[in-house]
Every structure is written in C-alpha cells, then in structure tokens.
Amino acid sequence: MAETLRSRQHQVKLLVSEKAVDSTALSALTNSSGRSGITVHSVSAIGYGGAGQLIRFCTRLARAVGDCAAIGAEYRPDAVLGMGGFTSAPAVLAARWQGTPTLIHESNAVPGKANRWAGKVVDHIAVGLAECARHFGRKPVTVTGTPIRAGLRAGKAADAHARLGLERGRMTILVMGGSQGARAINEITASALPWLDEWREQMQFVHLSGPRDERFVRDAYERNGFAAKVMSFCDEMELAYSAADLVMARSGAATLTELAAFGLPAILIPYPAAAGNHQLHNARVFERAGAARVIEQSQLCGLHTAAGERLAEEISGLLAQATARARMATAARSLAVENASERIADLVEAYAN
C-alpha cells in the first residue's frame, strides 16, 4: 500500500511493529523504491495476551495511542489506513480521536480481534474476501481483495528454474510454512519423503524452512535422494511461485492471495493456533472454490508413519492428475482480485479528500 500511494504522489508515513519480519519487509521496500516519499516509525508491541494480562495490555495500549497521537499532531495525515493487527489499532484510535478519516483492511475470512474492535469506530472497511463482510454489521464495507507487492504482480518469471538451480523437466513442489517457517510443516514433509520414492526422478522441491530447521530439512532431502532447493527465507517469492507446479503451505491471507495471483493448486495445512482459527476459515474458502485440498494439522501429527503416508498420498494423487491440477489452478486464478492496492488507494483518497 505504501508503494501504491507513493506512486500516486502522496507522502506516506508507515507505522510498523518492531518485529524482525517487518524489518525484512522494509528492506525489500527500500530496495524497490529507495523509500522516497515514505517515512517509517516503529510502534511498540501491545499484543493482547488474554484476560490475565488486561491491565498490562491497557497500559501499553494507552501509551501507544498517545505516541500515535503525537505523530499525528506533527504529521497531520489526511487519512489513516490500518492493515490489521494490534500495531494498527493505536494509530486508528488516535486518528479517530483527532478527527482524521480512518479506514481498515481485513485480509482474512474472519476478522482478527484488533480489526473487530477498530471496525466499530472507523469510517470504512475494506476486505480481502467477500465472506468477511458480514462480520462488520452495518458498517460500509468494500471487497477490494488483498494487496501484494509490485514484484508479485508482474506475473511468472521465465527464468525462475535457472535462477533457483532447478531442472525444467521435473515437477516442482513449493513447501513453505510462513515467513518464519513452520516446524510442523517441515517435519510432516520429511516424514512423507520415503512414501514418495516412485516420484524421486520426476519431482523436485523448493522448501522454505525457516532458519531453525534449514539443516534438518536439507538432510532429510539428501537422505531420501530428492533434488531440493532449501532456503531459510526467500525474498524473491516471484521465483518460487513461477517455478512451482504444486504448493504445500499454511493458509494465511497473504499466502493465499499470492497463490491466487499465480494460479497455483495447493495442499493447505492451516496453522491450528491462529487467532479465531482464521487460517482454517481461509483455507475452506479456497477448498469450496476447488482451488485447494485442505488437511488439518491434527491429521498429520509429528513424525508418525501414518502422517507421512497420508500426506504422500495427497501429493502423489495430484502429481498423477494433470487435469485436476489444471482445474485447481483455474479455480485459484478466479479468486484473484486485480489491482487490490489500487482499489484500497481509491478509498483512501476518497476519504482524504
């Protein structure tokens, strides 16, 4: 959104958390835009830890709202857009208090706590999935889709296989567990490899393991004789998506938006501890559309033989059915919303004016 608003000649102040993943994202923004016309300010974490930490949460929230109000008084924004999470809530509340137009965007099928709360006071709500609109009552809601980086909107990269060191003649499975990796996904994949022996010469993997499990994952592929490009993190996801024939992943909103943009069939394993079980709700949207197969993690626990065999059967079935994969790819593309960031920017401008 910062990229899009800046391209429309607006000045943008980006309020982010102090998490490492935000620093990584900001690094990519600097590389793509030089951050010209975009300033950044970190907001301290205020995550809600439950009723037992209510006093601590309220204290942190009040401090964060005060900090955001001070920023607003100096910066004097024409509009404030919250993209979800407890990082955006203080900025939205401060802006509302100061009489600045406010909007939020919710990317999941069910809104998180912060957006449920902020949705009661903002002027307008944008949602990534139509299923989410009903959760905001009579508030004005627009289905905009979820924005993705400019680099992911450019389409498939023709030289992706070469740049990743992959063979063009093999089917490629992309495995990822989110920006920080996911141990359960890594272990489940490792347990499935012995059951995929008949496909060894016909397939290869791109696996985003997270830093903790990189060695474990690489050893698993080598031990079972599979060709694999293992990375702790990938900052050029357009290459991974361009090379993939099938994806195995969590079902966070950003991941699903990118799968739809690239038209990729997927096996989704929702993160069971996600707030409000929103990843399962997201995954079911893609499953109902015919774009994905969903396996709940409870069916694939640990390194048990049965879990590996169950996942291997799903992978083998899809690799053997090119027609089924093609139908899933078409269904995934049907869920993509073109120019989501432009649609949200239109809303922001309308309220700013």
Domain 2-146+338-352 indexed as CATH 3.40.50.2000: yes
- For the ranges 72-76, 107-111, 170-174, 298-302, the lowest mean pLDDT is seen at 298-302
Model's pTM, two decimal places? 0.87
* Rounded alpha-carbon distances, angstroms, from residue 77 to 17, 35, 62, 244: 19, 18, 20, 42
Kindly indicate the confidence band of residue 348, based on its pLDDT and cuts at 50, 70 and 90. very high
Helices (H), the chain: 2-7, 20-33, 54-75, 88-97, 113-118, 150-153, 160-164, 183-192, 214-224, 237-243, 253-262, 278-289, 305-319, 322-334, 340-352
- Angle 322-334/278-289 helices, nearest 10 degrees? 120
- DSSP-assigned beta bridge partners for residue 206: 174, 229
- Angle 253-262/322-334 helices, nearest 10 degrees? 110
Give the per-residue pLDDT at 85.
Answer: 79
- Is residue 54 helix, strand or coil? helix
* pLDDT surpasses 80 at 178: no
Residues 52-77, mean pLDDT to the nearest whole number:
87
Give the per-residue pLDDT at 115.
Answer: 92
- For the ranges 13-27, 43-57, 65-79, 251-265, the lowest mean pLDDT is seen at 43-57
Q: Rounded CA gap, 228 and 204, in Å?
A: 6
Fold of the domain built from segment(s) 154-334 = Rossmann fold (3.40.50)
- For the ranges 103-117, 179-193, 208-222, the lowest mean pLDDT is seen at 179-193
Give the per-residue pLDDT at 20.
Answer: 65
Residues 344-349, mean pLDDT to the nearest whole number:
98
Percent over 70 (pLDDT), the chain: 91
154-334: same fold as 2-146+338-352?
yes
Q: For the chain, which residues make up each domain, given as ranges?
A: 2-146+338-352, 154-334
* pLDDT surpasses 70 at 303: no
- For the ranges 78-92, 212-226, 255-269, 304-318, the lowest mean pLDDT is seen at 304-318
* pLDDT surpasses 90 at 73: yes
**Strand order from edge to edge, sheet including 102-106:** 80-82, 102-106, 124-127, 141-143
Give the per-residue pLDDT at 128.
Answer: 96
Give the model confidence (pLDDT) of 23-56 as tens digits. 666 766 655 545 578 888 888 766 666 666 778 8
Would you give the distance in Å from CA 115 to the centre of its chain?
Answer: 17
- For the ranges 59-63, 77-81, 181-185, 301-305, the lowest mean pLDDT is seen at 301-305
Q: Are 104 and 122 in contact (CB under 8 A)?
A: yes
Average pLDDT over all residues of the chain: 90
Greater model confidence, 142 or 59: 142
Angle at CA of residue 16, ends 139 and 102, nearest 5° = 25
Residues 315-334, mean pLDDT to the nearest whole number:
96
* pLDDT surpasses 90 at 322: yes
Write down the residue that tokens 């909007």 correspond to. Answer: 103
Give the per-residue pLDDT at 249.
Answer: 96
Kindly indicate the confidence band of residue 98, based on its pLDDT and cuts at 50, 70 and 90. very high
Give the per-residue pLDDT at 305.
Answer: 60
Give the per-residue pLDDT at 119.
Answer: 94
* pLDDT surpasses 60 at 255: yes
Percent over 90 (pLDDT), the chain: 70
